[in-house]
Every structure is written in structure tokens, then in C-alpha cells.
Amino acid sequence: MTGNTNIRVAAIFSIFFILLIPTRSLASDFADRMKVLRQRMSTEAPEKITAENPEKTEENNLTQKSDDSKKQIIQKPAGQKNKSKKKTVPPPQKSLLPLKTGWKLENDSAHKYRIQFPADWQAGLLMDGTDRVRTGLSADQNLSVRVRSFDVPAGATTELIKTLFEQHILGGGNLLHSEKGNLCGVPSIMSVYAGQFNNIPVNMVAVVLLRQNRGYIVWAMIPTSLFALRSAEADSVLATFEFTD
């Protein structure tokens, strides 16, 4: 995704140009089956802002001054040095999800995230212009999971990214289900779609995130006839997405 907020569609993505059809009951059912993903979206606290809030800083300074005024000032003898040293407290290490048994880890050091796939899945990385597209495909090729990450201009929103995803990757169509949450410490939107791929009815779920001027789209596609059997697998893969910094 470039500065003009356009998403390029590489030739490899032509297979995902989908004519969406309205099947709201199936889409709602598919969303309900994203149990682990939804749990993470509803239970994770927002990411803390590292930059200090100037208003809070000033408030703390005023409080500190007020407290200091109440303390008795003790003068040290001339020539006596303060031997106390400030202790350097290392920043807390980010707690990452453990690697699932029998799964493999795909780490994107450039865009600071990782995701896990079952060991027998095909995994790879594509470049679509400046967008990074990490791919995962099940051994039977019935379940696909992708992560598209890209820089965005100032003022971009998750709603805008979701709209561009629908227009340029899914090829437009009807939005069947959408809900806002908080995944990986940042605001996110989970949306569900239903459509056809190679004349086969499919269901899709996509999570859009915006973090530090970078957009992320984490999404999965599965045939509608198999979603009851394979939705838990899609859910478990999507729920392993996390930021590494």
C-alpha cells in the first residue's frame, strides 16, 4: 500500500478476486466460530502509549512539587557527596505466545509481527509492490491464511483500510458481518464475507489493524462446505498473529 492509500493487486492475487454473495446466516455462524480470535480481541488491553502525555506530566510535576513542599529539607555537610546511584530498570520484555506443538513459526522482522502455521502447511512471502504478503496454505489447499502489511500515510484509519481491502482484494461486494475489538493491543475490525472462488462457495474472515503508521490485514478463506469442520483450524491460525516489538 502506497502513500496514496491504493492497494496494488499482484497477479498472484487474481485467484482471490471474489464475487461476493449475501449469505448472512452463514457469515454470522462463521463469526461465532472464531472463538479464540474473538476472545483475544475482547480480553486484550489497549497498547500503552510510550510517549509521555504532556498534560499528565505537568500534573505529576505539580503533585510532586506539592509533596516536596511538605518534606523537611535536610542540609548535608559541605563536601559530602551523594553516593546514591540511580538504578537502570530495563524495559519489560514482550510476552509472546508459545509455539504450538507441531507448528512452525513465520516471523516478519521487517514489519515486526509473527504468525504460526501447522507444520504441513505451505508458507511463503510475496512482495506486492511495497506490500509484504505472508502466505499460508493447508496441505489439502482448502484453507488459506494471509497477512498483508504495508505503510500507510498519516490520517489513515482501520475503516479506510477495510474499505480498500474489500474493493481491491475481494473485488467489492457485500459486507456480511463486522465488529470492532482490540487485537494485539491495538484497535481492530473483524469482518466476515461470503462469496465464490472458482465457482465454489467460500467464507472469509478478515481482521484489519493499524499500528504505528502501518496497516495489517490478517485473513482466511475456506470453502463453505468445509467451514463447519475446518473453522476451528482457521480460528487457531488467525489467533496466533502477534506483534513482536
In three-state secondary structure terms, 27 is helix
- The Cβ of residue 217 has, within 10 Å, a number of other Cβ atoms equal to 22
Q: Tens of pLDDT along 75-133?
A: 545 555 555 555 665 555 567 888 899 999 999 999 999 999 999 999 999 999 999 99
Comparison of pLDDT for 189 and 55, the residue scoring more: 189
> How many angstroms separate the CA atoms of 146 and 126, rounded?
10
222 neighbors 231 (Cβ within 8 angstroms):
yes
Is CATH 3.40.50.720 what the domain over 21-44+100-243 is classified as, yes or no?
no
> How many angstroms separate the CA atoms of 191 and 114, rounded?
21
- The Cβ of residue 231 has, within 10 Å, a number of other Cβ atoms equal to 22
Beta bridge partners of 211: 214
- pTM beyond cutoff 0.75: no
137 neighbors 216 (Cβ within 8 angstroms):
no
Asked if pLDDT for residue 228 goes beyond 50, the answer is: yes
Among 229, 224, 231, residue whose Cα is nearest residue 24:
224
> How many angstroms separate the CA atoms of 50 and 204, rounded?
35
Q: What is the pLDDT of residue 202?
A: 86
Q: What would the DSSP string read from start to end of 169-188?
A: TS-S----EEEEEEETTEEE
In three-state secondary structure terms, 32 is helix
Comparison of pLDDT for 175 and 209, the residue scoring more: 209
Query: Which of 27-41, 86-100, 127-141 is most confident?
Result: 127-141
Instruction: Give 72's contacts (C-beta < 8 A, 6+ positions apart).
Output: none
Helix (H) or strand (E) holding 36: helix 35-43
Give residue limits of the domains in the chain.
Answer: 21-44+100-243
20 neighbors 195 (Cβ within 8 angstroms):
yes
Instruction: Give 125's contacts (C-beta < 8 A, 6+ positions apart).
Output: 108, 132, 133, 134, 135
User: What DSSP character marks residue 18?
Assistant: -
Report, as an integer, the average pLDDT of 36-58.
Answer: 59
Q: What is the pLDDT of residue 172?
A: 56
Beta bridge partners of 103: 118
**According to the 3-state scheme, what is the secondary structure of 112-169?**
CEEEEEECCCEEEEEEECCEEEEEEECCCCCCEEEEEEEECCCCCCHHHHHHHHHHHC
